[in-house]
Amino acid sequence: MNRFFNTFMRAYMEEVNPEGGAGGGGEETPVKTYTEAELAAAIAGLKAKNEELLTEKKAGDKKRQEAEEEKARLAQEALKQAGRFDEFEKTIRDQYDPVIAEKDKVIAARNDRILSSERKASVLQFADRLIDPSAIDIIGMMVKTEFEGDEVVTKFAGADGKVITTDPAQFLKYLGEHKAFSHLLKADAASGGGAGGGKGGGAATTFENMTEAERLALHRKDPAEFDRQLKLQRGKS
């Protein structure tokens, strides 16, 4: 450890006093050893000097920026006073377009994060309805999120890629009734077939014949009717 301290101190002392490292006539100055306290003091001195230089640099940069802004302002004012409005407008665009572009970039990145988060939440709400969790990737390809004004809107697309609804319950019902997707849902797997099987092609009209997707849709659309049919079903059992 002392060897490192001494090496550092020799280098430091040579830097601050480059002519003190060797005596006249080619004779080397005797090597001095340094304590840890001396090393700590030297390091503190270097840090303080570095901070001082950084502060000076920041102050210099700020002054240069202020000088450039003032120069640009004076040039724009001269153009305006001379009636050279096309050139005046161009200098304004050149000054602010990069700033606007940078802000647009930040806003676009923020919007992407918002849409991605909303889409992920919209997709994951179906996870507990699926037989195999990996099927969520299939469902995810059918979910889109976008801005409509300041509002985030989630849209659910069909097998052809066209938007069919913005209602999660209706989308779940669509999946349960579609032969390409019905087998992914737990309710359909439990009944041993697709969502439309054994219904003669008609919609479910009684609670006991409804799929889980249809029951969920009924609960969201008409809670009172859902409760009524649930009570009837329990009374039969």
pLDDT tops 80 at residue 120: yes
In a domain, 115, yes or no: no
Spatial contact of 54 and 47, defined as CB atoms under 8 Å apart: no
End-to-end CA distance of the chain: 84
Q: Are both 131 and 96 inside the same structural domain?
A: no
Q: Which residue, 46, 76, 108, sits at the end of a domain?
A: 108
Q: What's the number of domains the chain is made of?
A: 2
Q: Can you list the alpha helix ranges (DSSP code H) found in 82-211?
A: 85-124, 136-140, 168-177, 186-191
Mean pLDDT value of segment 90-109: 81
Residue 188 included in any domain: yes
Closest CA to 213 of 144, 165, 148: 165
For residues 199 and 130, state if they share a domain.
Answer: yes
Query: Does residue 90 fall inside a structural domain?
Result: yes
Q: What is the pLDDT of residue 141?
A: 92
Q: Are residues 150 and 189 in the same domain?
A: yes
Range of the domain at 77: 64-108
pLDDT at 166 over 60: yes
Global pTM? Answer: 0.41
Contact partners, residue 2, CB within 8 Å, separation at least 6 = 33
